[in-house]
Amino acid sequence: MAHATIRDVAREADVSVASVSRVLNGHSNVRPAVRERVQAVAAALGYVPHAGARNLSLARTNAIGVMLPDLHGEFFSETARGIDSEASARGLQLLLSNAHANPARAIETLRTMRGRVDGVIIMAPDLDPEQLFEHLPPSLPAVLINCCGNVQGRAELRVDNVAGAEAMVEHLVSTGRRRIVHLAGPDGNSEAQARVAGYCAAMARHGLAPRILPGDFFEEAGTAAAEELLRELDGPEAPDALFAANDMMAIGAMMRFRRAGVAVPGRIAIAGFDDVPLARLISPALTTMRVGIAGIGARAVVRLTALIAGGHDHAVEPRTPELIVRETTWSTINTEQPASRE
Amino acid sequence: MAHATIRDVAREADVSVASVSRVLNGHSNVRPAVRERVQAVAAALGYVPHAGARNLSLARTNAIGVMLPDLHGEFFSETARGIDSEASARGLQLLLSNAHANPARAIETLRTMRGRVDGVIIMAPDLDPEQLFEHLPPSLPAVLINCCGNVQGRAELRVDNVAGAEAMVEHLVSTGRRRIVHLAGPDGNSEAQARVAGYCAAMARHGLAPRILPGDFFEEAGTAAAEELLRELDGPEAPDALFAANDMMAIGAMMRFRRAGVAVPGRIAIAGFDDVPLARLISPALTTMRVGIAGIGARAVVRLTALIAGGHDHAVEPRTPELIVRETTWSTINTEQPASRE
DNA sequence: CTGTTAGCGCCTTCAG
DNA sequence: CTGAAGGCGCTAACAG
């Protein structure tokens, strides 16, 4: 049995479709008797309005599109969570699509969102903005998050990754570190590039030689970097700090150092970037730059809502990351020797 | 400037809308000259088809609705990730809605999905199934995940929480634990209830006295439970294991014990449930029951796709959690004393 | 208060 | 190969 339509209800209740529509949308100009009859019939038929049709005729969907690079890892799930909490507080549904770093698919996705959402939130640090924005319908409200090359003057939220990376280097230097190695994010990623830039600038300011290891934001890259550094830890040029471009890589490195029995931060300090929830739970807790991931997502929804309501917003809203120093060291953790059981 | 419509393109290209439609959808029966002209005009006008209208006339959306209890915590983001990866591999978009444990809103959400998605995936362990399913349009394809009271014979994936909890108790007992305390999930949650049941059954089988602390699946509940147990740790009835109904609570407890300087698992063993990604990264690494969260999400998409394609599927597919024993102890971690800096 | 009518933007027979 | 016309399901004037 197919779905009942508004026409079925109208016929059964012996009224016009207009009246059914009025009842269902809570308009007041309907005689109580008619209202009740319509409601009864609708319930009996198991009628559920076809939201798609409704959207078409209202030219309004109450949904927003969200394009994220990937849903893997805590960074993006935190963003999604921030967006979701604000969206659901406003009764908006979310049409999610991850771009998987594939420009063609990203564009295709944007196109299939047209007419299904009232606006979009786009986070695409790894996509060529030229291509992307060319296919962004100008009349589609959009809020960008960390999109390099926002040429159309779109509303945007942009984390100051350069300043963040500089701040972290300053912190490491202030605690006595000198041989600070940076583990970078993926090549084509504008955020990763900015963090490298900040790192280099701050190192130069202190007359320190930069050293950059390639990475990709994944845990395994941290593991690999740690393995490389492990070989040098007893040498004359031993690094005394590893500053990873994101938390997951920092954690990968930390796990590897731990497995090798290297004291962190005793022998080598480790710092991350993002402050994902995990950073606080790992031990030793991770010193990192907090970007307020979920808050950015929520803020994007707020601005998008205003845009959809007809507002104008061409601002690039800067977000400055905050240094989070976590001082947990082994000594405060392991106050008691393990009882070996079995 | 508003969006161009198919009619604008037709007018500018001096052809009928039918021809434009054919060109845009790659039909072959169009003269090359016409095809090119239409494509040129469409590009010039920045025309993007209105997906909503397309869906209406095709009665097909290529989107699936996803209703999760909440996007907070790794459990649900993992589920979402599994769903997302499988969905995007199939070119499906996701319409996300979290129910926030509010039955009325959940029903409302389900209704607004009608006509906007081809099918839905529902995970609602905390909702009254009577109410929920009554409002689930029978003709809407759906796959349920861990929904108690699946009265309509809907396709479902169900984790065997009872067996999982039993297995964990068996494991703890086999490693010599006797005073095993269970930290439960929220009251109205069917998964939490099943885990309690499994715990009690296994305890009874060994003639052990069950003890259940109230919880809610959040980290803080774990903290609170640990504080309660801390007071008893030196007493004659000191518990020797805490089995939390999910990983986050287990982690909360572990953090609290660590802060108090209590050796884990030396003084007290801690076990969780779910095997969220975090469980492996925490230290000591968490022993837990793996339910294959992302895999369940992916599998749900596969089954839903078949259902949408017209298949029949009334099966309840069982998933048995797998015991993951992680043996990391402090001694293997802290092989080196911290160098105190500063 | 209620019904009729005209779309929303697109796709798809059905003729030509 | 192409155009005209009807319809997807619903809402919103516009008359009664």
The β-bridge relationship of strands B322-324 and B316-319 is unpaired
- Chain A neighbors of B84, CB-CB under 8 A: 71, 96, 98
Residue in chain B lying closest to A51 (CA): B115
Residue in chain B lying closest to A176 (CA): B342
Q: Which CATH number is associated with domain A1-59? A: 1.10.260.40
Residue B105: its pLDDT value, please? Answer: 82
**A340–B331: do the CB atoms touch at under 8 Å?**
yes
Q: Give the residues across from A271 on adjacent strands.
A: A243, A287
Of the listed ranges A224-228, A299-303, B85-89, B321-325, the least confidently predicted one is: B85-89
What is the three-class DSSP state of B257? Answer: helix
The neighbour count for residue B214, using CB atoms within 10 Å, is 12
Q: Which CATH architecture has domain A61-159+293-320?
A: 3-Layer(aba) Sandwich (3.40)
- What is the distance in angstroms between the CA of the first residue and the CA of the last residue of chain B? 63
Query: How many angstroms away from the CA of A293 is the closest CA of chain B?
Result: 13
Q: What is the pLDDT of residues B257-266, one digit of tens each?
A: 988 999 988 8
Strands (DSSP E) along chain B, which ranges?
Answer: 63-68, 93-98, 119-123, 142-145, 155-159, 180-183, 211-213, 241-244, 269-271, 288-290, 316-319, 322-324
Contact at 8 Å (CB) between B290 and B322? yes
Task: Considering only CA atoms, name the residue closest to the C1' of nucleotide D11.
Answer: A57
Q: Is the pLDDT of residue A327 over 80?
A: no
Q: Work out the average pLDDT over A280-303.
A: 94
Query: How many angstroms away from the CA of B204 is the closest CA of chain A?
Result: 23
Contact at 8 Å (CB) between A318 and B242? no
Q: Is the pLDDT of residue B124 over 90?
A: no
Which positions of strand D lie within 7 Å of protein CB atoms? 1-13
Q: Work out the average pLDDT over A124-139.
A: 79
Number of residues assigned to chain A: 342
Local confidence band at A338 (pLDDT 50, 70, 90 cut-offs) = very low
Q: State the Cα–Cα distance between residues A48 and B135, nearest whole angstrom.
A: 9
Helix, strand counts (H, E) of chain B: 14, 12
Query: B50 to each of A108, A273, B28, how far by Cα in Å?
Result: 13, 40, 22
The β-bridge relationship of strands A93-98 and A63-68 is parallel
Residue A139: its pLDDT value, please? Answer: 84
Straight-line distance from CA A23 to C1' C1, in Å? 12
Instruction: For Cα atoms A11, A12, A18, give the angle at the middle one, nearest 5 degrees.
Output: 45
**B52–A49: do the CB atoms touch at under 8 Å?**
no
Q: Work out the average pLDDT over B325-333.
A: 57
Which residues in A121-130 are b (16+ Cβ under 10 Å) and which e? bbbbbbbebe
- Chain B neighbors of A341, CB-CB under 8 A: 175-176, 265-266
Query: What part of B 223-262 touches A (C-beta under 8 Å)?
Result: 251, 255, 258, 261-262
Q: What is the pLDDT of residues B101-110, one digit of tens each?
A: 678 888 888 8
Peptide bond into A214 cis (omega under 30): no
The β-bridge relationship of strands A288-290 and A322-324 is antiparallel
Q: Which of A266, A267, A336 sits opposite B262 (nearest CB)?
A: A336
**A111–B49: do the CB atoms touch at under 8 Å?**
yes
Residue B331: its pLDDT value, please? Answer: 35
Contact at 8 Å (CB) between A47 and A4? yes
Query: How many angstroms away from the CA of B316 is the closest CA of chain A?
Result: 23
Contact at 8 Å (CB) between A22 and A10? no
Higher pLDDT, B101 or A120: A120
Local confidence band at A328 (pLDDT 50, 70, 90 cut-offs) = low
Residues A184/A188/A189/A190 CA torsion (nearest 10 deg): 110
B61 touches strand D (CB under 7 A): no
- Chain A neighbors of B134, CB-CB under 8 A: none
Query: How many angstroms away from the CA of A98 is the closest CA of chain B?
Result: 8
Whether domain B161-291 has CATH 3.40.50.2300? yes
Which positions of strand C lie within 7 Å of protein CB atoms? 1-5, 7-13
Percent of chain B with pLDDT over 70: 94
Local confidence band at A239 (pLDDT 50, 70, 90 cut-offs) = very high
What is the three-class DSSP state of A271? Answer: strand
Alpha helix positions (H), A135-282: 161-174, 190-205, 219-230, 247-259, 277-281
Number of residues assigned to chain B: 342
Query: Model-level pTM?
Result: 0.91
The β-bridge relationship of strands A119-123 and A63-68 is parallel
Instruction: For Cα atoms B330, B331, B333, give the angle at the middle one, nearest 5 degrees.
Output: 65
Local confidence band at A297 (pLDDT 50, 70, 90 cut-offs) = very high
Q: What is the pLDDT of residues A147-201, one digit of tens each?
A: 877 777 899 999 999 999 999 999 999 999 999 999 999 998 999 999 999 999 9
Q: Which of A74, A333, A341 sits opposite B258 (nearest CB)?
A: A333
- The alpha-carbon radius of gyration of chain B (Å, integer) is 26
Amino acid, single-letter form, for residue B54: R
B22 touches strand D (CB under 7 A): yes
The answer to whether residue B178 neighbours chain A at the CB level (below 8 Å) is no
CATH 3.40.50.2300 residue spans of chain B: 61-159+293-320, 161-291
Contact at 8 Å (CB) between A93 and B99? no
Higher pLDDT, B55 or A101: B55
Q: A with B: how many residue pairs have Cβ under 8 Å apart? A: 207
**B278–A283: do the CB atoms touch at under 8 Å?**
no
**B100–A88: do the CB atoms touch at under 8 Å?**
yes
Query: What's the half-sphere exposure (Cβ side, CA atoms, 13 Å) at A115?
Result: 21
Q: Work out the average pLDDT over B289-303.
A: 96
Strands (DSSP E) along chain A, which ranges?
Answer: 63-68, 93-98, 119-123, 142-145, 155-159, 180-183, 212-213, 241-244, 269-271, 288-290, 316-319, 322-324
Non-local CB neighbours of B212 within 8 Å, separated by 6+ positions:
B181, B182, B183, B184, B196, B199
Query: How many angstroms away from the CA of A99 is the closest CA of chain B?
Result: 9
Q: State the Cα–Cα distance between residues B145 and B298, nearest whole angstrom.
A: 11
Q: Is the sign of the CA dihedral B147, B152, B155, B159 positive or negative?
A: positive
- Chain B neighbors of A109, CB-CB under 8 A: 93
Q: Work out the average pLDDT over A211-215.
A: 98
Q: What is the pLDDT of residues A24-62, one digit of tens each?
A: 999 988 899 999 999 999 999 999 999 999 999 999 999
Local confidence band at B336 (pLDDT 50, 70, 90 cut-offs) = very low
Non-local CB neighbours of B301 within 8 Å, separated by 6+ positions:
B64, B83, B86, B87, B90, B92, B121
**A84–B77: do the CB atoms touch at under 8 Å?**
no
Residue B333: its pLDDT value, please? Answer: 38
**B281–A255: do the CB atoms touch at under 8 Å?**
yes
Contact at 8 Å (CB) between B222 and B181? no
Query: What part of A 63-122 touches B (C-beta under 8 Å)?
Result: 63, 71-72, 74, 77, 80-81, 84-85, 88, 93-98, 100, 109, 111-116
Query: What part of A 35-64 touches B (C-beta under 8 Å)?
Result: 46, 48-56, 61-63
Q: Give the residues across from B243 on adjacent strands.
A: B182, B271
Q: Work out the average pLDDT over B277-300.
A: 93
**B340–A333: do the CB atoms touch at under 8 Å?**
no
What is the three-class DSSP state of A219? Answer: helix
Q: State the Cα–Cα distance between residues B112 and B99, nearest whole angstrom.
A: 13
Q: State the Cα–Cα distance between residues A162 and A170, nearest whole angstrom.
A: 12
Query: What's the half-sphere exposure (Cβ side, CA atoms, 13 Å) at B327?
Result: 6
Local confidence band at A1 (pLDDT 50, 70, 90 cut-offs) = low
Q: State the Cα–Cα distance between residues A287 and A284, nearest whole angstrom.
A: 9
Determine the angle formed by the axes of helices B51-58 and A103-113, rounding to 10 degrees. Answer: 70
Q: Give the residues across from A290 on adjacent strands.
A: A274, A322
Q: State the Cα–Cα distance between residues A190 and B248, nearest whole angstrom.
A: 33
Residue A268's nearest CA partner among A253, A248, A280, A252 is A253
DSSP string, A276-302: -HHHHHSSSPPBEEE--HHHHHHHHHH
Q: Is the pLDDT of residue B337 over 70?
A: no
Contact at 8 Å (CB) between B276 and B74? yes
Which residue shows structure tokens 């990866």?
B85
Of the listed ranges A110-119, B27-36, B123-132, the least confidently predicted one is: B123-132
Query: B187 to each of A238, B101, B139, how far by Cα in Å?
Result: 54, 12, 32
Choose the most confident range, by mean pLDDT, from A274-283, B130-139, B237-246: B237-246
Query: A109 to each of A103, A134, A172, how far by Cα in Å?
Result: 10, 14, 42
Q: State the Cα–Cα distance between residues A245 and A3, nearest whole angstrom.
A: 52
**A175–B341: do the CB atoms touch at under 8 Å?**
yes
DSSP string, B36-94: HHHHHHHHHHT----HHHHHHHHT--SEEEEEES-S-HHHHHHHHHHHHHHHHHTT-EE
B132: tokens are 């929920």
